[in-house]
């Protein structure tokens, strides 16, 4: 074969691969016909039978759905490795593969400190909050996920404070992925990434996202098999906290945002000191803080989370390619621009790209996107990876809860906003008109 033939063959192979990746739906019928003539027909039938529990009742549906998600992530992880090694990152999936694995250091820095310190915090916090929570019939561990993110101590603390696995899921997984993540991570992060002139839209979108969280939590926990009465009783304190947070974002957004930024810096400082103490104990055998957990088991959790991200990031890239046009169409129909649709889709993996894109969104889109990502961000990447490493059975309830809350929040934002012909949104004055205190608070925050 001559060099020209080899070059033509290489071009045809790349075009074929490009066709497969960019037009997946057109290939479904052809792939199905080919599969029916191969020995893999039995495997396909077996897979179909395995999906039966997904449509049934009980834990079988969640288990089957979790296995499907993990299998999909594993396949995209393999495709990312192939694209990196053999195709020189032609489709960009190799880069996503590297980004997932590269998160291990950042995950360790943010997670391990609180995971090691959780036993110490749990014992002290249990003594303080138990009488109050018992008086209303709620489990004290609910406070863990209400103020700490799922992967920054929320789940670990919930496990220390109670032996009830359903509360682990309700507080540590579901609430921690939304309310805890908003209090400790999303709000401080957004203040850094979102320009000061967009802070009024940031406060309003965050407020709507927080309002929708109890609804999403209820349905997610219901899918997880938790009895409705138990959900309502234990959701009371978290709902009260969410209501107070929403009220503060409505009446005094600047003061509240500034307060949470300070609180976040305090918590991150505690996390870093805890990590340093855990490392010192591992290297010397001397416990600076008595009662801390060993650092070694935490690295297993961090490692599993990172390898899941190695498949989750390529999967998000794939979703972005195939869903960008439909989402842009929906965006035009609802009166928001393409940057808003792109930001919402990107937030499924990480909120950082969405916050960075706020300046490109129209006014209506800013509130809609922030309202969605406040509860809905990270559901197909970092938080899902952490849940899969610690509580695989709770992955589906968590994703459902976050998506329900995100869609509800975005819907409320769309309903409470008017849009003009050029697509820019203005808030209906009768419902959410900013007052002078709001403006002064925002000026105080940015100064």
Encode pLDDT of 2-27 as tens digits: 555 556 555 655 554 454 444 443 44
Report the SS3 class of residue 397.
helix
pLDDT band at 212 (very low <50, low <70, confident <90, very high): very high
Instruction: Give me the residue label for tokens 């349905």.
Output: 219
Please give the Cα distance from 355 to 369 (Å, whole number). 9
pLDDT band at 276 (very low <50, low <70, confident <90, very high): very high
pLDDT value of residue 50: 43
DSSP string, 286-307: --SSTTPPPSHHHHHHHHHHHH
| Predicted TM-score (pTM) of this structure | 0.73
DSSP 284: H
Considering the chain, what percentage of its residues have pLDDT values greater than 70?
Answer: 79
Instruction: Give me the residue label for tokens 């589906």.
Output: 396
> What does the block give as tokens for 274?
């805890």
Q: Is residue 21 within a helix (H) or strand (E), and if so which, with residue range?
A: helix 3-22
Of 11-15, 44-48, 119-123, 419-423, the poorest mean pLDDT is in 44-48
Closest CA to 390 of 382, 292, 180: 382
Across the chain, mean pLDDT equals 80
* Burial class of residue 396 (count of CB atoms within 10 Å of its CB; 0-12, 13-18, 19+): buried
- Answer yes or no: are the C-beta atoms of 178 and 405 closer than 8 Å: yes
Encode pLDDT of 319-352 as tens digits: 878 887 787 787 777 778 888 888 898 898 888 8
| Arithmetic mean of pLDDT, 37-51 | 37
Please give the Cα distance from 149 to 121 (Å, whole number). 15
Find the length of the chain.
447
pLDDT value of residue 53: 41
Encode pLDDT of 376-400 as tens digits: 999 888 899 899 889 988 999 999 9
Top-confidence residue, 50 or 157: 157
Helical segments of 86-103, H only: 93-102
Is residue 180 predicted with pLDDT exceeding 70?
yes
pLDDT band at 190 (very low <50, low <70, confident <90, very high): confident
> What does the block give as tokens for 383?
């938080």
268-275: Cβ within 8 A, 24+ apart: 268/110, 270/113, 270/114, 270/117, 271/110, 271/113, 271/114, 271/117, 271/152, 271/153, 272/109, 272/113, 273/113, 274/113, 274/114, 274/116, 274/117, 275/109, 275/112, 275/113, 275/116
pLDDT value of residue 189: 83
pLDDT value of residue 369: 95
pLDDT value of residue 193: 84
| Arithmetic mean of pLDDT, 96-110 | 87
What is the Rg, in whole angstroms, of the alpha carbon atoms belonging to the chain? 23
- Answer yes or no: are the C-beta atoms of 54 and 64 closer than 8 Å: yes
pLDDT value of residue 138: 92
pLDDT value of residue 5: 55
pLDDT value of residue 14: 57
Encode pLDDT of 129-161 as tens digits: 888 898 888 999 999 999 889 988 899 999 999
pLDDT value of residue 157: 92
Please give the Cα distance from 263 to 183 (Å, whole number). 9
State the pairing for strand pair 425-427/417-419: antiparallel
Please give the Cα distance from 187 to 351 (Å, whole number). 11
CB-based contacts of 128, cutoff 8 Å, min separation 6: none
């Amino acid at each position: 074969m001559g060099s020209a033939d080899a070059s033509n063959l290489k071009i045809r192979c790349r075009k074929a691969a490009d066709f497969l990746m960019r037009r997946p739906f057109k290939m479904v019928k052809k792939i199905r016909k080919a599969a029916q003539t191969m020995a893999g027909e039995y495997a396909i039938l077996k897979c179909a039978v395995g999906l039966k529990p997904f449509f049934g009742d009980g834990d079988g549906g969640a288990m089957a759905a979790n296995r499907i998600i993990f299998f999909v992530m594993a396949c995209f992880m393999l495709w990312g490795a192939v694209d990196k090694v053999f195709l020189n990152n032609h489709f960009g999936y190799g880069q996503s593969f590297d980004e997932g694995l590269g998160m291990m250091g950042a995950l360790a820095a943010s997670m391990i400190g609180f995971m090691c310190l959780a036993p110490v915090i749990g014992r002290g916090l249990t003594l303080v909050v138990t009488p109050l929570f018992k008086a209303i019939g709620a489990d004290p561990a609910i406070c863990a996920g209400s103020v700490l993110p799922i992967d920054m101590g929320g789940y670990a603390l919930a496990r220390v404070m109670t032996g009830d696995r359903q509360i682990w899921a309700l507080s540590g997984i579901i609430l921690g992925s939304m309310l805890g993540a908003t209090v400790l991570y999303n709000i401080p992060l957004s203040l850094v990434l979102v320009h000061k002139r967009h802070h009024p839209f940031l406060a309003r979108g965050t407020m709507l996202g927080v309002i929708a969280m109890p609804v999403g939590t209820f349905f997610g926990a219901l899918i997880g098999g938790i009895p409705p009465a138990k959900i309502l009783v234990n959701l009371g304190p978290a709902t009260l906290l969410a209501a107070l947070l929403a009220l503060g974002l409505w009446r005094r957004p600047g003061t509240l945002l500034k307060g949470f930024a300070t609180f976040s810096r305090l918590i991150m400082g505690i996390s870093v000191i805890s990590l340093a103490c855990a490392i010192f104990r591992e290297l010397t055998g001397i416990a600076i803080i008595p009662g801390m957990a060993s650092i070694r088991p935490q690295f297993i959790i961090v490692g599993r989370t990172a390898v899941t991200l190695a498949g989750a990031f390529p999967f998000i890239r794939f979703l972005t390619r195939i869903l960008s046009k439909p989402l842009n169409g929906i965006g035009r129909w609802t009166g928001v621009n393409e940057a808003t649709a792109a930001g919402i889709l990107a937030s499924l993996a990480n909120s950082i790209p969405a916050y960075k894109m706020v300046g490109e969104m129209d006014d209506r889109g800013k509130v809609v996107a922030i309202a969605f990502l406040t509860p809905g961000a990270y559901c197909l990447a970092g938080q899902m990876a952490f849940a899969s490493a610690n509580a695989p059975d709770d992955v589906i309830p968590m994703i459902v809860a976050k998506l329900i809350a995100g869609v509800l929040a975005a819907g409320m934002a769309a309903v409470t906003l008017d849009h003009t012909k050029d697509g820019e949104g203005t808030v209906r004055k009768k419902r959410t008109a900013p007052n002078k205190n709001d403006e002064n608070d925002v000026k105080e925050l940015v100064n």
